[in-house]
Each structure stands twice: as structure tokens, then as C-alpha cells.
Amino acid sequence: MLLLTSTSDVVRLITGTATTTIEVHTSFVDVSGTTITPGRTNTRITTAATTTIVASPGASTQRNVKAIYCTNNNAGTSCVVSVEHFDGTSAIELMSFVLLPGENLGYREDGSWVHRDAQGAEYPASGLGNYGGKSIPFMKTGTAPDVAGCWYCTSKDAGYPGAWAPGTPGVNGRVTDGTTTADFGCIPIPNAATGSNYLTALEMSSSVAQTNDFFDVLWVNSGLVVTTTTAQAITTPALPARDINGTTNGEGCTIALLVTTVLTNAAANAGITVSYTNSKGVAGRTANLSAIAGSQLPATAVVGTIIWFQMAAGDTGVQSIQSITLTTTLLTGAISLMICRDISTIGTATVNVSTPKVIGVPGIRLYNGTCMLHNILASATTATFFSGSLAVMEK
């Protein structure tokens, strides 16, 4: 049961995203002496806010909350919703869900909570015994990186899966979906059928000791002009609901530049900047590089070179990109920008010996449509063979 026993007690709903409508119904019973009075409240929420959904009872009255039903009535935007009990001083979180469009959370009279999909089917519990697991193998034959200490992406290399490429979506780019033809070549993670996918373990080996990193690319473009040294405008579409909260805000996402055709720039370049809107919706932010290996574009960068931009102070995500500026011409070649969510990192300290990594329960959430790629922080300029597997549980 869920009790409100003072005139300060309320139940509140915290909505993390402004959506078309979050619809909430609550039912309760008031007890005052021998008098029992049923009641109910309907609430519509259209902003990111903290909203009272069950008000305080009157004096000398106890209010027993019997049911809470909360539905994300939106066609395309996910929302993080958290239910809390507030006594006027302390706010205690009772339950939190990411509601995809059309999904519903429910609190039942016996004190249990339920999460339903858009068709009304209940998600299975996350406890042991209520999951389906799969092992996804991984193997790549990577070519030589530019310099030690720089990042190199194996997406273009042969192996399992085969090569992935950005395609030709143009400067404004496209959102990705790892289950569709345009993104075949990413690590194949089938969409969860009824529950949610979680990465629970990794194991990797390589012919050269490297730092391995897996990430989900949400958006990618092409067609940038490598000889233009003024701002090139970009209009990105809304991101898929695959940030760390399962929303389109881009929380936990960052910006990468991928070399897709070898460049002929004669010197390392740390002067590239990107103008973006952060995950809180603040525009006019600037992402930069630094003049150090790993945070700058190497001279004559090879195909597969990837650099990760540093975001403005205080920013924790990227929602969209407005432009890129190359302060120095890259002469010839091709590059693509990406917006990515980092998933997990694993080292391979001993050559050709597998390194395991177990991720704490429940694991790292992999949202439907995940387009996962692999890159390394190179320890040497040596072609490297990679192999391993990912354990993905549907819970």
C-alpha cells in the first residue's frame, strides 16, 4: 500500500521530457474515523516538471493510494518518469521508468509496479530467470592506425560483421537503425521482443594490446567539403530515442569525426570546431579538439581514423549539430560527422589472450535499433586482428 498520513504528504510525478501529453490517473480511499471516502484524480502533463498527482489528505485523515496509471501519449518521443512520495521535507523516489511512445506504468493495490508496452503487454520482470540471452561474436582484421595514441574505427574492415559505411546521406545526414539494410555491418543486435536488451558481459582478444571501445552511432552524415575553411551549415534530424535515458535529447552522447577516404593534410590539425545544441536544448555550444594525439586529426589521416570532440564545460550530451568549421584545408579525402553514445570499454593487456569483462546487474541498456561499432585507442601503428563476443540479455 501507499499511504499519505499528514496534510503535507503528496505523491508527485517527475517528467524528464516535454512531450505532447503524459496522462495520469490515480485512485485512492480516504479514511477518517469510521468514514471511508473514495476519490480519484486525472492529470495531463505537457512539460518537463514535478507535478503533484495525489494531493494531501485533510486533517485527521489517512489517504490510501490504490492505483496509479501513467501513459506516454506521444507518437515519437520517449519520456523518463519518476514517482516519488513527498512529505513536505523529504522526497523519496518510489519507482522510475523510461516510457517509450504509447507505454504505460502502473502501481497496483498490492504495492507492485508494472511496465506495459504500447500494445498493453507487460514487460517481464528483470530478475534472474526472466531473461533470454544471446552471445554475439565479433571479429575484425584492422589495418594500421596513423599514430600511437590516436583512435581508429574498425567499422570499414572485413570480418564479422562485415564492413559498415555511412552511405551518402548528405551534409544533413541520417539517423541510424542497426536492424535495417543501411546499417548492416554494425554489430548485429536484434531488437528486444517484449523486454529490453542489456549488455551484461564482454570478452576481447587482439594481436596487439589495445584499448577497445564500443559505441552506438545515432546519426551520421557525408558530403562535407574538406577544402572549405568557413562554417558548413548542418540541419540534423531528431535523434532516435537511444540516448542513455532512452530519449531523443542526446544525453550521454558526443560528437565524432570519421575519416572515410584518406586525407592529404600535411600536418596534424586541432583547429576543427563544431557548433551544436546540448542535451538540455541550449544552442550555440562549441565542441573543440586539443593539440595532442587522440584529440586531433593526424597528418594524412588513414581511412578509419576517428577523433572525439570535447564538449563545452558543463555539457553532458548533444541533441543536434548546426555546423562544422575546418580552420585549415584538409586538401583531399572525405570525412563524416557522427553523434554517438559510448557503450563500454575493455582492454586487451596480453597479446592473443582473451580478456573478460562482466558488467553489473542489470547491465547496460541497449535500445532497439542500436547501431554498435568498435574503435580502439591505438598502442602502435600495427595492423591488428580482433576477436571476441558480447553477451546480451533480454530482460
Angle of CA points 358, 199, 211, to nearest 5°: 65
Residue 181 — φ and ψ, nearest 5°? -55, -40
Beta carbons of 371 and 186 less than 8 angstroms apart: yes
pLDDT of residue 361: 79
Domain assignments of the chain as residue spans, ordered by start:
2-116, 132-394
Residue 151 — φ and ψ, nearest 5°? -90, 145
In our burial notation (b when 16+ CB lie closer than 10 A, e otherwise), range 222-243 reads bbbebeeeeeeebebeebbbbb
pLDDT of residue 360: 85
Q: pLDDT tens digit string along 208-260?
A: 999 999 999 999 999 999 999 999 999 999 999 999 999 999 999 999 999 99
Beta carbons of 167 and 371 less than 8 angstroms apart: no
Residue 182 — φ and ψ, nearest 5°? -60, -25
Strand partners, 185: none
- CB-CB neighbours of 218 under 10 Å: 26
Q: What strands lie across the sheet with 285-287, from one edge to the other?
A: 232-233, 318-325, 273-278, 285-287
What number of residues does the chain have? 395
Q: Tell me the pTM.
A: 0.70
pLDDT of residue 131: 59
Low-confidence ranges of the chain (pLDDT < 50): 127-129
How does DSSP classify residue 64?
E
pLDDT of residue 135: 93
pLDDT of residue 127: 47
pLDDT of residue 117: 84
- CB-CB neighbours of 88 under 10 Å: 11
pLDDT of residue 220: 98
